[in-house]
Chain A
Amino acid sequence: MRDVAVVAFAQSQHSTRDADSTEVEILAPVIADAVAQAGVARQSIGFTCSGSCDYLVGAPFSFVSALDAVGAWPPISESHVEMDAAWALYEAWVRLQHDDGTDTALVYGFGKASNVDVAEMLALQLDPYYLAPLWPDQVSLAALQARAYIEARGVDGGELAAVGSAAREAGAANPNAVPYGSATYPDPVEPLRPGDVAPVTDGAAAIILAAGDAVRACTDDPAWIRGIAHRIEAHSVGARDLTRSRSTEQAAAAAGLGQTPVDIAEVHAQFGHEQLILRDALGLGPDVRINPSGGPLAANPVMATGLIRIGEAAARVRDGSARRAVAHATSGPCLQQNLVCVLEGE
C-alpha cells in the first residue's frame, strides 16, 4: 500500500439555515482554505472527488455547479459519489494507490439540509416497492433501532442522554458547530428525545490528501491514513440485527483498528443510540474520547458529516492531542454501510 496522508482540512461555519448562500457559495471559501493550507497550486491537484445528494437540492446533476468552486478549467480529472464525501475520500485514496504521478487529491462534500425535510427525503433511499411507499422517515426508523438496542443491552435513559449532553458541551467549544441556541431539530420519535437527534445543518467541508513526496511539500505534520475500509449490510432494515453494527465491526478489523489503541474517535452518529452502537462495534473503551468535536449531534451538514469525522480526527492527530485516532462514516438507513479510517501522526 502507498502511504497517503491528510494534509489539509477545512470546513464552513455550519448553521441551521444559511438562506443567503447557495451550496457553491458555502463551498468556495472552504475549498480555497484547504488549498491554501496545503500550499499547493490549485491547478496542480491531480484528482478531485466530491460527495453530495441531488435530492437535497431537488435538481438533477446539482453537483456539477459545485465545480465553479473548484476551478475546473483547463479540464481536470474529477469524480463524484452520490454519498457522504467520506466515500469520495475513499475513492481518492484508491486513486492515489495507482502511483502513476497523481500525488494529490481534493475531496469535498456539501449539503443544505434546510432546503427540504431531510428525514422525509431519506425515505427515498429505501426499496421503492415495499418500504418507500410506506414513507418511513429517517427518525422513525432510527427510533426502531434505538428501542431494539436499548432493550437488548439494558441501556438506561441516563446513558443515552449523556451522549447528547456531552455532544452539546463539546460542540459549544467547536467554533464550526451549529450555535446551540440557534439550531432547529427534526421532531424526535420515542424513545428518542430532543437531545438525541442531530440538528438541521447547512455546510461544507474539504480535505486534501497527498502521497509520496507531495506529503512533505504540503506539511510537516501529516495525519497518515494507516487503514481505511468500508463494508455494507442488507438494504432492508428488517433483514439485519439492529442491535449491533456488523459492517462497522468488519470495516474496523479490515482497517487495522484494534492492533494498537486509539486516543480519540470521531463517529458519524446522527442519533445518540447510534454512538453507543458504534462504540460497541469499534470496541472503544472508556479511555477513548468519542467525538471531541461534538460530532454530528453538534453539526450535521448532510453529505459532509462523514468527511468531517475524518477531518476532525486528522486535526487531533496533527495538533498532537491524539497520537492515533479512528474516524467513522455511515450511509444508508440505520447504519447500513460503514467506513472506518485509522489515522496516525509521525
Chain B
Amino acid sequence: MNEALLEIKNIRKEYRISGGLFQRRRSLRAVNGVSFAVDKGSVLGLVGESGCGKSTLAKIMLGLETASEGKILLEGQDVSSLPCRQRTRRIQPVFQDPYASLNPRKSIQAIISLPLQVHKVGTTAEQNVQVEKIMDLMGLPRRVRYNYPNQLSGGQRQRVAIARALIMKPEIVICDEPTSALDVSVQSQILNLLIDLRRELGLTYILISHDLAVVEHLASRVAVMYLGRIVEEAPTEVLFKKPRHPYTTALLTSVLTPDPELRLPETHLGVAYPNPIEPPSGCTFHPRCPKVAERCKVESPQPVVNDGRMVECHFPNY
C-alpha cells in the first residue's frame, strides 16, 4: 500500500470559553478525534452543518491553529517538525469570501507575488513573469495586474485568491467554501477552473463545503462531520448511492435539485443543532436521529471500517 500524501491522526481541538463573570471557564471541543488520509491527486470533500468543526480542522491543517492533541503527517513526516515556510509552501488555502481575503490596499500583482517575495524566489523580473503565467492560467486578463481588488468582480477575485495559493506550486490546496459567496454562473466557472487545475498540475484538494452537489461533483471521497467527529467516510459514488449513517441520509435528502416533480423533502431531523459546549450523551447525533434506540443514549459508537468505508453508528444501513 502506498503512503498517503496527507494523514491526519486523531486531531483534537479544545477551546476554553468564558462562562461569564465569576463563572468557571468551560471547554468547547470543536474537533474531537478526527483521523483521515488523503491520497495524492485525489479530492476529499468535507461536509457538515455550520459549527461541526470543519473550518477549525482546515485551520489546523494550515497551521493557523495548533491542535490540542494529534498529529498531521505530510508524506509520513510530522508537520510540526517542519519549519513554517516549508509547510506553507506545500499546503495553501483558498478561502470563502474573496471580498475579505484580499488586501484592499495592494494591487493584484502585489497580492499574487507576495508568496514569491516571502520565500525569496527569483528576481523581481522573474517574479513578474511568473505572475503573468499564473494569471494566464487562471483566465485573468493581464491588464488587471495593477488594479486593486475592489475593481474586480467576485469571480475574478476568487481567481486571484486561487492564483496566490498556486504560485508556489503547492501539493495540497485547502478550499474552504470556495464558491458559496459567488453567483451561480460564476460558481460553475470557478469549479471548472478547479477541475482543470487539478488535472494539469496534479493537485490534491481538500474541499470544505456545505453544498453537497458541489462536493459530489468534485470529490473522490467524502467525509461527513457532525459535532467535531467524522461520522461517515466513503468514496463519493457509494456514499451518495448508499449512505450508511442516518445523518448522511438526512443531508442527502435535503439537497434541493432543480426538479419540480419532487416536492420539499422531510428530513426527520427535528429542530436544533446541539450546543457543542454541552454535547449530548452517547452518540452525539441521537437527539435528532430517526432511528434512535436506548443504546444510542448511553454508549458512543466506535468507527467501523469495511469495504473501504467508515461509519460511526450503532445501527448503520447496509
Answer whether A and B are interacting partners.
Answer: no
The chain B residues found within 8 Å of chain A, CB to CB, are none
The chain A residues found within 8 Å of chain B, CB to CB, are none
